[in-house]
Amino acid sequence: MSNILCYKLNTMPKSDDRNLSLMSMAEVQQARRFHESFPQYKKTPLVDLKHMANYLGLSAVKVKDESYRFGLNAFKVLGGSYAIARYIADELQKDINTVDYTFLTSNTCKQEFGQATFFSATDGNHGRGIAWAANQLGQKCVIFMPKGSTQTRLENIRKEGATATIEDLNYDDCVRMAAQEAAKVPHGVVVQDTAWEGYEKIPAWIMQGYGTMALEADEDFGEKPTHIFVQAGVGSLAAGMVGYFANKYNDNPPIMVVVEAAAADCLYQGAVANDGQPRIVGGDLRTIMAGLACGEPNITAWDILKNHVSCFVSLQDEAAAMAMRMLAAPIKGDTPIVSGESGAAGFGALATIILHEEYKALRQALHLDQNAKVLLFSTEGNTDPDVYRKIVWEGLNH
């Protein structure tokens, strides 16, 4: 189990924090109002693992279970749907509060806006969310998937009416491909949750869409969490959650920990470099945590994270696999959670830090003790049932 987890406490220089306002309460509440306009909207459960918390020596462990989100088995649709709506509102010069599900599916919208083609790169969940939202709203969608993506995830996207292919490229190269192809098509729009110079507006809207999940979790937690563990690919989800709680509890924020797959730990590498500049991780980015296999950080998200995260964690696949099994078969009396490979990463880091004596110093630095009330996000269910069974039933670790 040695080196199952590497960590770096955050000592980076801070920026002027201009991006934190993206996740203000007003912005997040606006996103939630939009999601509530969908007939499929329902708050996902916050599972209180009371017996697990006791076993780990913590006061509370509560997990937001996104496997119930809009019937899509993952949280990603929150960001994609909101970004599409904000784009259409922007094009029509309308207030987003008037561009709800009813308007977007109306003949008025069809006449005023017409039809766009939304392009994206994804391992599965983001693309499926974009495809579903585009399909619901009468728009077109094209998805590029990186090598190593499974046939199951490809078919799930195609079932939503999108054109989707698996390319012989890694995730970051698929993002570039999506941008290139969108530029060739009339009304082609890239909907990507990673930002780069000159492409920042849509990723910011996606982060705000994710805020619905933070707001729901905050309401259901019942008090201020002392700790938040959240996983990161490009960092948009993490910055959405961190940004929300940093805004709400500005004077005394929770201790926030960001967890990445070791094969794609660009944020962790940035923390290790310690100069405040983002870092890029290249190569095939092979990990069971497919949703976290991103080597180039969202620059907007990075700015929020470097200012407000206490610790960056680089996690090996075996810890995520262990977490999937622990959540699937928790201590008697706790509700089981079907958590996919990426969804379980945050809990994998928490359990590893608590259960392995070699991380005692980190436990103490993060104050993970009997007073700790931890919020985690299981961002996906068994989005690939075959892989899930191999890990949970057959003991596959990587």
Active site residues: 76, 123
Alpha helix positions (H), 329-376: 345-355, 360-365
Q: 25 near 248, Cβ under 8 Å?
A: yes
Q: What is the C-alpha separation between 260 and 355, in angstroms, rounded? A: 19
CA distance 390 to 317: 14
In 89-138, the DSSP E strands lie at: 117-121
Q: Which residues does residue 6 pair with via DSSP β-bridges, in sequence order?
A: 314
Bridge partners of 380? Answer: 74
Closest CA to 284 of 126, 149, 127: 149
Calpha distance 337→324 (Å, rounded): 8
Q: What are phi and psi of 394, to 5 degrees?
A: -100, -5
Token pair recorded at residue 5: 């987890």
What CA–CA distance (Å, rounded) separates 79 from 236? 9
CA gap 287, 319 in Å, rounded:
12
Look at strands 373-378 and 227-231 and give their pairing.
parallel
- Rounded Cα distance between 35 and 182, Å, is 26
In the numeric block, which tokens belong to residue 169?
């490229």
Cα–Cα dist 200/272, whole Å: 25
Distance CA 156, CA 77 (A): 13
Strands 311-315 vs 46-48: parallel, antiparallel or unpaired: unpaired
* Eight-class DSSP state of 71: G
Classify residue 228 by its DSSP letter: E
